[in-house]
């Protein structure tokens, strides 16, 4: 039997449009599909709790697609690869690129070591529409503002992304010795069963991702531009976790949505949706060119800002969905229960934490990292910097969301609130957005006792707004 090729799966947990897998299969050599859980890496943050749950199921699904041939390992990737190459006499290692700075450096080293041992190493792009080094400004420096980045750097300069490729028609597996490591042995599943809400909400894996895209194109794309703002509507794609783990190719999402938009005359909605993929690209672009974005304020002026970075009652109330602002609480509870939050609501709860509660965006970023099934280093840090006002192309600091107005505008009938804050279920539409303003008889009818069955607001919005603006002024002069 000829020397095998190791296909190292990372955040590309699919068979379709997977260039590393496809090129390996085309070579004709038998392949070894490998997954390495790299938790021990000390200089990187551990995968968050909700994401671990997702990863477990995604790997299970991939393993099924690979007829139970996925070879599980854990530990330092360099060591695992070195050992496996020797053990199997592999001639090559193929993988799809990841773009987190720590991983770029690490992969470079691994590549060098393998090549020094005469192993063929090839890497491909499976997770971005355009490579981050291909869309620079004319002066060769990276874009810092989304709109020119997307319109000029991406669309004009690079044009449409490549078409998606199919899954390999046939996969020939190398004979492997029995593996002592198993998926269960990776201990990705939490020991306490807190993931019931996620189980009923999600189907991780390539099949689930395909079905989600189908469902979105079928029912969500029509009126996407307006409907995506309403958390109770079915207009958002909910593809983020599938894209994060590479269960579906962004190229496929791009081209299929464009095609449907075109054939159904939904050009406007299609372009708006495509630009959301553009924001994902922009986050990766920023992370690639400005790796400190994960922790340092991109706008240095905020370094002296008086955010509270400590644990506090306000922070705990925010995490638990007990702020007394129904839309904020609904969002935070959706997050905890399902591992996901609607995008507009993410902006609202983010603004609330950073501006109304004057809490450092790091605290929000950490909580999201641990609780989101789509937690993504690039998107998470770029988005928190955006909402905090300290990012590259950020929302101006003084853009402070009014959680009551947002609620009245985008959850008019309170459907979203009622789903996640059931203690307000019987509140009439008119008063569900700000129950503390409801007349006593309405509260009584709804069975709500503020401070007992549902919290009183932990801050007064207009006072909190004044306070935030004042602190902003101070930081300007400091």
Partner DNA sequence: TGAAATGTTGGGGCG
Partner DNA sequence: ACGCCCCAACATTTC
Residue closer to DNA (CB basis): 137 or 465: 465
State the nearest-atom distance from the C-beta of 387 to DNA, in Å. Answer: 10
Options 158, 229, 299, 343, the catalytic residue: 343
> Which of 45, 152, 465, 467 is close enough to bind DNA by CB under 7 A?
465
- Is 384 labeled as catalytic in the residue annotation? yes
CA 232 vs CA 57, 407, 420: distances in Å: 27, 11, 11
- Is 320 labeled as catalytic in the residue annotation? no
Residue closer to DNA (CB basis): 344 or 431: 344
Between 279 and 298, how does the x/- string for binding to DNA read (CB under 7 A)? x-------------------
- Three-class DSSP category at 164: coil
- Is 307 labeled as catalytic in the residue annotation? yes
State the nearest-atom distance from the C-beta of 274 to DNA, in Å. Answer: 12
Helix (H) or strand (E) holding 73: strand 71-74
Task: Pull the structure tokens for residue 336.
Answer: 């905890």
Count residues binding DNA (CB under 7 A).
21
State the nearest-atom distance from the C-beta of 345 to DNA, in Å. Answer: 10
Options 131, 201, 279, 299, the catalytic residue: 279
State the nearest-atom distance from the C-beta of 405 to DNA, in Å. Answer: 4
Residue closer to DNA (CB basis): 95 or 410: 410
Residue closer to DNA (CB basis): 60 or 271: 271
Taking a C-beta distance cutoff of 8 angstroms, is the pair 68, 389 a contact?
no
State the nearest-atom distance from the C-beta of 155 to DNA, in Å. Answer: 16
Residue closer to DNA (CB basis): 97 or 461: 461
Which distant-in-sequence residues (6+ apart) come within 8 Å of 35 by Cβ? 8, 9, 10, 59, 62, 70, 71, 72, 73
440, 452, 454, 431: which is closest to 320 by C-alpha? 454
Instruction: Please count the other Cβ atoms lying within 10 Å of the Cβ belonging to residue 444.
Output: 11
- Binding of DNA by 400 (CB under 7 A): yes
State the nearest-atom distance from the C-beta of 46 to DNA, in Å. Answer: 28
- Binding of DNA by 146 (CB under 7 A): yes
Q: Could you say which residues in the range 321-360 bind DNA, by CB under 7 A?
A: 343-344, 347
- Binding of DNA by 405 (CB under 7 A): yes
- Is 245 labeled as catalytic in the residue annotation? no
**Rounded to a whole number, what is the distance in angstroms from the first to the last CA of the chain?**
70
CA 282 vs CA 142, 167, 216, 252, 256: distances in Å: 10, 28, 23, 18, 21
- The Cα diameter of the chain in Å comes to 81
DSSP secondary structure code for residue 35 in this structure: E
Options 276, 281, 365, 423, the catalytic residue: 276
- Is 295 labeled as catalytic in the residue annotation? no
Which distant-in-sequence residues (6+ apart) come within 8 Å of 429 by Cβ? 412, 413, 414
- Is 276 labeled as catalytic in the residue annotation? yes
- Binding of DNA by 398 (CB under 7 A): yes
Taking a C-beta distance cutoff of 8 angstroms, is the pair 73, 181 a contact?
yes
User: What sign does the dihedral 453-459-463-468 (CA atoms) show?
Assistant: negative
Q: How far, rounded to the nearest angstrom, does the alpha carbon of residue 114 sit from its chain's CA centroid? A: 31
Taking a C-beta distance cutoff of 8 angstroms, is the pair 387, 347 a contact?
yes
- Binding of DNA by 461 (CB under 7 A): yes
State the nearest-atom distance from the C-beta of 272 to DNA, in Å. Answer: 9
Where do contacts with DNA occur on this chain (CB under 7 A)?
A: 146, 276, 279, 343-344, 347, 395-396, 398-402, 405-406, 409, 461-462, 465, 469, 473
Q: What residues are labeled active site?
A: 276, 279, 307, 343, 361, 384
């Amino acid at each position: 039997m000829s020397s095998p090729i190791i296909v190292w799966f990372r955040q590309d947990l699919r068979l379709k449009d997977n260039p590393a897998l496809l090129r390996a299969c085309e070579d004709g050599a038998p392949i070894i599909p490998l997954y390495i859980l790299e938790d021990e890496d000390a200089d990187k943050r551990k995968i968050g709790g909700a994401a671990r749950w997702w990863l477990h199921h995604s790997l299970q699904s991939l393993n099924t697609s690979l007829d139970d041939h996925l070879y599980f390992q854990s530990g330092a990737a360099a060591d695992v690869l070195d050992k496996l190459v020797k053990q199997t006499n592999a001639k090559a290692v193929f993988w799809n690129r990841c773009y987190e700075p720590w991983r770029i450096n690490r992969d470079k080293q691994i590549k060098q070591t393998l090549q020094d041992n005469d192993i063929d190493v090839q890497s491909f792009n499976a997770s971005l529409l355009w490579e981050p080094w291909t869309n620079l400004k004319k002066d060769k420096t990276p874009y810092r503002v989304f709109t020119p980045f997307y319109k000029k750097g991406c669309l004009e300069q690079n044009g449409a992304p490549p078409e998606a490729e199919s899954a390999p028609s046939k996969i020939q597996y190398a004979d492997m010795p029995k593996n002592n490591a198993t998926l269960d042995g990776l201990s990705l599943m939490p020991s306490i069963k807190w993931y019931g809400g996620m189980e009923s909400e999600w189907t991780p894996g390539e099949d689930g991702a395909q079905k989600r895209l189908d469902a979105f194109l079928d029912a969500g794309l029509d009126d996407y531009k307006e409907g995506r703002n309403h958390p109770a509507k079915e207009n958002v794609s909910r593809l983020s976790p599938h894209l994060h783990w590479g269960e579906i190719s962004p190229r496929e999402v791009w081209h299929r949505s464009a095609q449907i938009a075109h054939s159904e005359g939904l050009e406007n909605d299609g372009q708006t949706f495509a630009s959301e993929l553009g924001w994902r690209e922009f986050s990766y672009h920023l992370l690639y060119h400005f790796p400190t974005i994960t922790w340092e304020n991109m706008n240095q002026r905020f370094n002296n800002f008086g955010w509270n970075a400590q644990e506090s009652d306000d922070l705990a109330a925010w995490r638990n969905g007990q702020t007394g602002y129904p839309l904020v609480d609904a969002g935070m509870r959706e997050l905890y229960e399902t591992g996901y939050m609607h995008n507009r609501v993410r902006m609202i709860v983010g603004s609330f934490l950073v501006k109304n509660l004057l809490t450092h965006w790091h605290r929000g970023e950490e909580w999201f990292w641990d609780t989101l099934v789509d937690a993504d280093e690039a998107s998470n840090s770029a988005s928190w910097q955006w909402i905090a006002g300290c990012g590259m192309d950020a929302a101006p600091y003084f853009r402070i969301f009014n959680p009551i107005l947002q609620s009245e505008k985008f959850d008019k009938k309170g459907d979203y609130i009622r789903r996640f804050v059931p203690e307000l279920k019987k509140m009439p539409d008119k008063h569900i957005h700000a129950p503390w303003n409801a007349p006593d008889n309405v509260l009584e009818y709804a069975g709500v006792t503020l401070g007992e069955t549902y919290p009183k607001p932990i801050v007064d919005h207009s006072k909190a707004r004044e306070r935030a603006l004042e602190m902003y002024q101070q930081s300007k002069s400091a």
